Amino acid sequence: MGDPLERLELEDAGGSSLKDDEVCMEIDPPFRESTATTEDWRKALAKVVPAVVVLRTTACRAFDTEAAGASYATGFVVDKRRGIILTNRHVVKSGPVVAEAMFVNREEVPVYPIYRDPVHDFGFFCYDPGVIQFLKYEEIPLAPEAASVGLEIRVVGNDSGEKVSILAGTLARLDRDAPHYKKDGYNDFNTFYMQAASGTKGGSSGSPVIDWLGRAVALNAGSKSSSASAFFLPLERVVRALKFLQNGRDSFVKKWEAVSILRGTLQVTFVHKGFDETRRLGLQSETEQRVRHASPQGETGMLVVESVVPGGPAHECLEPGDVLVCMNGEVITQFLKMETLLDDSVNQKIEIRIERGGTPLTVNLLVQDLHSITPNYFLEVSGAVIHPLSYQQARNFRFQCGLVYVAEPGYMLFRAGVPRHAIIKKLAGQEISLLEDLISVLCKLSRGARVPLEYVSYADRHRRKSVLVTVDRHEWYAPPQIYTRDDSTGLWTVKPAFQPDAGLLSSGINDLGGIRSDAVPLCTEASSVGHMHHDSRAELNEGVTSMETSYEHSSEGGHPRAESDVETKKHRVKEDFSSDGNAVADGSFLETDEGDLEDANTVENSVMRDLQGENVAAANSSLAERIIEPTLVMLEVHVPPSCMLDGVHSQHFFGTGVIIYHSQNMGLIAVDKNTVAISASDVMLSFAAFPIEIPGEVVFLHPVHNYALISYDPLALGAVGISLVRAAKLLPEPAIRRGDSVHLVGLSRSLQATSRKSIVTNPCAAVNISCADCPRYRATNMEVIELDTDFGSTFSGVLTDEHGRVRAIWGSFSTQVHTFLLGTKKKKRSKKKFSSSEDHQFVRGIPIYTISQVLEQIICGAQGPPLLINCVKRPMPLVRILEVELYPTLLSKARSFGLSDDWVQALVKKDPIRRQVLRVKGCLAGSKAENLLEQGDMVLAINKEPVTCFRDVENACQELGKHENRDGKLNMTIFRQGREIDLLVETDIRDGSGTTRVINWCGCIVQDPYPAVRALGFLPEEGHGVYVARWCHGSPAHRYGLYALQWIVEVNGKQTPDLDAFLNVTKEVEHGEFVRVRTIHLNGKPKVLTLKQDLHYWPTWEVRFDPDSAIWRRNTIKALDYSSNL
């Protein structure tokens, strides 16, 4: 375990527990007094500082021990002619990285990784020296032999984000144990470290540790945050690696010749223990004497085996506690000598003598090539990064190298519950031991297929966990791809994981456990896409071990409704389909006459007969519960990270819905929009009436009200399921009144129906939800139902009468609560307020009338655009709305604003219960009412009819839709600043599709401004612009600060008023080209930034919903041509 106070100079790296042997009494080499003067240091620093660079690195994908992200670090030139920069391994990264170096005069140059050591914390970037034209600098020589205890040193680097920082210190130890940073991250081992009290912080990784002659004697790597201690890597192995690189070429060339630097390993971790400890481990005194005699004067201990990786060359040959005596007949007590021998013996056998509990043993082991167990390729599928388990993580987790390791779960695996660091053992019944095994199974699966997956995690290594993986049905991500490291260019080349005509591309029916799954052909494009899982980065805890790379962080961040009127229908619908797929209505699906009472008993008897043969009548449940239970459905909703649209605040939602239509051809479920927030979602349905789970599709999102409609294929239920599942009877009229008795019925997570009888305390409570930090759907212009008792804020369901007829949905509303905490500054003893925001939810009743009206239009034929539902195209409803946010004001207060007695009496006469008037809170930006209505206006009448509630406004809007000869305008009488004014206000028409198009450019998710953003009342004057909804970790947007909550209004001076204009402009930008982007934040603040396009790792693509196939399709807009890699 590592010291929790040690830092690897990376702000997001965590630590472990304190070492037992942290306090060391070992004898150090003799103290050397420094005779350097201030002038000597001035001259040394004048020579060194120009050769030190600030490295801006972006890890484009999570890989091995690293998460995707952007960071600052330090490096320094060690070979000017060849353009070689030395820095830390955790800066060079083990995975794909894009980096730039900035010299002290602010000249910038791209750098490319050419080597990172598999174990030790050093690596090299290369750059073109010819690009630097205005700075005179010299390379910094490496002098590992100059390091000694007492040596006065300076650490020159980018400390705490500063461009140049110079910290002084004195080397105190040369034999410190390698710091342990994280239990599941990168750690150095099998080497000593130096220690000094220089107090380096984040950003100084890779800084040179120099002496007064301007020579680098060590490489800064980590620090202890609880003290001023810093840890430096010795340079002996760095010098060896640099010589290999220098021998590979004489000067800089664009494409390096890949250099092979031999590194050997036994997959064994050694620690240096004092002789007293080795004696306690059983070392014989004779052996100790021979070792002391053969070792340099002042040797204090020997190397002891700490751990052995399973499956490695030393597995079952060496054990923890073994004391190393000799290798190939040579006494070995130092790491450097041992590593030199191993590096010179790759793929050869060596003889090792050890003592185990006092017993001498000799073993012959084959030295393994360390690079062969360091992964240099990975599979990217559905945003997941999967590759062979590296030596680093195999050592951390005590697993065998090469197993199939999940570096980032992405969407498909995250949806199944597979965590980061998992080891995949089986997929679709096939054992998985290599990445190639996983690819061979994936290529046989079709879109929408559901297959079991087994995995193990290091936290629970002895038990396999089994989950169900659903292959993406929609094209949320690019097809599976293989990335392979190319050390000659510093890039990772990409190619399809399998041929376009194999796997994930087939179509047909998969019969999995009796569930019908429609497989959809997959697009054959071969472009890559990043992911943005917000939990992929570990956060820095104060006083823990971390790396000294300064990471860039940015914080970023929906649900509204209203009501509409519906007439009571007194005929039964009988659905029949003509050849063109249109529904023919004959009769009604809503009955409110006395015959319903008899029908309720009939339904009750049917339920009692069908549900598993139980005697339901003997149960303790109410009549309403028994009738409504077969109509309830539990919805599990996942939102792909690539399509986190409209400010949606989570990737995973649960909620209870109710079946409102069920036939042989189509099923429809109503649920609140805090469960199904956007249409770009994957929905799974679990039915209370029948134990089955099938997919659903979002077919309608009401633009105002808090509900969505989800369709399902009844044939997927099977013959038995179809007969057991029922649609609820909807009772929109009469409206619920205060004092009414209702039954609240819903489902628990175990799909058990739960109910209670409650009393309505307020049937017309106006919802008032404030805007969230990241604008998202919030309920406005809506009256809800409040009860005296319920089941808490997370329980959703329906409100029924005593006969099981649904009168309202008991739905969930999302809100954001701002809390303020008081903090005290230690120095000034002053109190300061700190604010934070938390997502909360509450439940209220949503009257059923608006749902029943939309349902009628879907079944009987609407006027809107067609949508494919279960292979039948159906016209979907259009909703006419007034895009104005209203709120009620009591007439008593309205009188104080000057409202006349005549209007007060007229409004009281219209609605003696509410006694209120509606006022304008604001108009949606870009709406047709924006320039007509003003904040504070009182809405008195529409078309000369008094208005007292939101439903009155909706009824007036719907009445316009019934008369085609009208111009869509409302004749509104308003009261403004003491005057009555008549206005003709045009309404807007919206469909229920929601946002159906998203573009990913340079790793930022761009969409048209959605209603929650427009509800803020502001759009940029520059043609409105396109809105940045999210950004991806490790992308150019992350690196250059193109974050969410702002509009892009110009690119390279050209306006981007909409998505098409934005694409036309960005198509002109080539790979590696800098662009100038003008943005305007939600707060109205303009900003101009430059951004470098990277089409290699971040091609431009869009995902768009296709109503003809009911599939979200992915289309690559601009990417590099990878055909040469096939």
Q: How big is the chain by its Cα radius of gyration, in Å?
A: 34
Beta carbons of 8 and 547 less than 8 angstroms apart:
yes
Q: For the residues of 163-221, what is the DSSP string, one character each?
A: SSEEEEEEEEEEEEEPPP--TTS----SSEEEEE-----TT-TT-EEE-TTS-EEEEEE
Beta carbons of 940 and 974 less than 8 angstroms apart:
yes
CA 637 to CA 650: how far, in whole Å? 10
Residues in the chain, total: 1126
Residues marked as catalytic: 534, 796
CA 1114 to CA 522: how far, in whole Å? 9
Q: Which two tokens stand for residue 741?
A: 């008795």
Cβ contacts of 706 within 8 Å, gap of 6 or more: 559, 560, 561, 672, 673, 674, 779, 782, 811, 813, 846
Cβ contacts of 70 within 8 Å, gap of 6 or more: 56, 57, 58, 59, 551, 552, 1033, 1034, 1038, 1039
CA 425 to CA 453: how far, in whole Å? 8
Phi, psi for residue 992 in degrees, rounded to 5: -105, 25
C-alpha closest to that of 215 among 391, 51, 444, 411: 51
Cβ contacts of 466 within 8 Å, gap of 6 or more: 452, 453, 454
Beta carbons of 730 and 799 less than 8 angstroms apart:
no
Phi, psi for residue 946 in degrees, rounded to 5: -60, 145
CA 672 to CA 241: how far, in whole Å? 61
Beta carbons of 239 and 319 less than 8 angstroms apart:
no
Q: Which two tokens stand for residue 896?
A: 């104080």
323 φ/ψ sector (left φ>0, alpha ψ -120 to 50, else beta): beta
Q: Is 800 exposed, middle or buried (0-12, 13-18, 19+ CB in 10 A)?
A: buried
Q: Which two tokens stand for residue 1105?
A: 């919903």
Phi, psi for residue 442 in degrees, rounded to 5: -60, -35
Report whether the peptide linkage leading into residue 734 is cis, meaning its omega lies within 30 degrees of zero.
yes
C-alpha closest to that of 907 among 936, 943, 947: 947
CA 99 to CA 97: how far, in whole Å? 6
Could you tell me the CA-to-CA distances from 506 to 381, 436, 520 in Å, in that order?
17, 20, 7
What is the torsion angle, in degrees rounded to the nearest 10, for the CA atoms of residue 310, residue 312, residue 315 and residue 321?
Answer: -90
